[in-house]
Amino acid sequence: MIEIKNVSFRYGKHKPLFDDFSLNIEDGRIVGLLGKNGAGKSTLLRLIAGLLSPQKGELLVNAYKPGQRLPDYLASIYMIPEEFSLPPVSVDGYVKALSPLYPDFDQEKMSSILEEFELNRRDKFHKLSHGQRKKFLIAFAFASQCRLLILDEPTNGLDIPSKSLFRKVMVRSVGEQQLVLISTHQVKDIDTIIDSVVTLDKGQLVLQDNIENIGRKYLFETASDLTGDARIIYSEKSPSGYRIIRANEGNDETKIDLELFFNAIINKTIY
């Protein structure tokens, strides 16, 4: 569980990125962290991981203060940063070296995910493409079975089949007690797997809601024109007409268009 209370953070003498920021996230969820460039997503993930410390306020993750970087805490989280670097060893060498540091590491799960991602344990990292190395890190993260997984732009660099595989593997691998935080700009890559959305804008929490509630409140449809429907909250032109968001006044349900929803939030049409 992540509890952030009145946190303030700034880089050096810059303007505060977070000022009196609060957020609570329960365990057992896959949370999509959305926001424009510079909204503070990566900084928030770094604060949660313990790579940065807030200047004010309280930040607790599973009752640990991440900034203290206590070993038990570090063994309970795994972070895939947007930009990463792997040592000049083989897949197997890395797994053998680092898996003993994670008490719940599941070797069988690692092997099965590597197989699905078509990665060979004998492959050397320097011979793998960026996407393959990212797939390895995703496999390691899921096999670590850490209570908190922090994934910063996990689908960047993955090809289309791999993105689909990533979603399948994630849904199958994440346990009920785990919390997965996924920060991404490519909302379409994760819209079917997340069960909660947190949206940031300029260091402010704009929205925190679960997917069920969003589906209950809004309908996501396409329309050939926009005339005569007062319930349309937001619309965007598309090749086949318009993608629209309407208030859900009945019990209808539609597939959530997360990208459209995000654009509506950023344009302050919703919330």
Partner 1 sequence: MKQNSFFSINRFGRFLSAYMQLNYKRYLYIIAGAFIAFYAWFLFFMNNTLHHFDVQYSFYMSCLSMGALALGAFVGSAFPEWSDKIKTGNYLLLPASTFEKALSQFLIYIVGGILFFCVIFYVDAHLARWTLMHTERYISGEHTIDALNGVMLSKIYQSDEPWSLILWIIFSIACLLFSIRLFFSRFGLVKTVIAVGAILFLFFFCLTFSSFLFYADENTVFRLLDLKTPVHNVHKGWDNVAILFFVFFGATTFLSLCLAYFKLKEKQV
Residue with Cβ nearer partner 1 (94 or 242): 94
Cβ neighbours for 252, distance < 8 A, ≥ 6 positions apart:
219
**52 touches partner 1 by CB under 8 A:** yes
Angle formed at CA 161 by CA 159 and CA 166, multiple of 5 degrees: 90
Is 266 a residue that touches partner 1 (CB under 8 A)? Answer: no
Which stretch, 13-21, 70-78, 198-206, 223-231, contacts partner 1 (CB under 8 A)?
70-78
Choices 63-71, 112-120, 156-164, 220-228 (CB under 8 A): range interacting with partner 1: 63-71
Stretch that binds partner 1, among 87-95, 158-166, 235-243, 259-267 (CB under 8 A): 87-95
Q: Which two structure tokens, joined as six digits, stand for 90? A: 């083989």
Cα 88 → chain centroid = 28
Cβ contacts of 239 within 8 Å, gap of 6 or more: none
Main-chain dihedrals φ then ψ at residue 100, nearest 5 degrees? -65, -15
Separation CA 21–CA 7 (nearest Å): 5
Question: Is 98 near partner 1 (CB under 8 A)?
Answer: yes
Contact call for residue 49 and partner 1 (CB under 8 A): yes
In the complex, least distance from residue 68 CB atom to partner 1, rounded to whole angstroms:
8
Q: Is 100 in the site for partner 1 (CB under 8 A)?
A: yes
Among 20, 22, 28, 96, binds partner 1 (CB under 8 A): 96
Q: Does 107 bind partner 1 (CB under 8 A)?
A: no
| Measured distance CA(262)–CA(170) in Å, rounded | 22
**Closest CB to partner 1 among residues 52, 190:** 52
Query: Is 119 a residue that touches partner 1 (CB under 8 A)?
Result: no
Chain position carrying tokens 């732009």: 153
Task: Provide CB contacts within 8 A for 233, sequence distance 6+.
Answer: 218, 244, 245, 246, 247, 264, 269, 270
Which residues here bind partner 1, judged by CB under 8 A? 46, 49-53, 69-72, 74-75, 77, 79, 81, 83-85, 87-89, 93-94, 96-98, 100-102
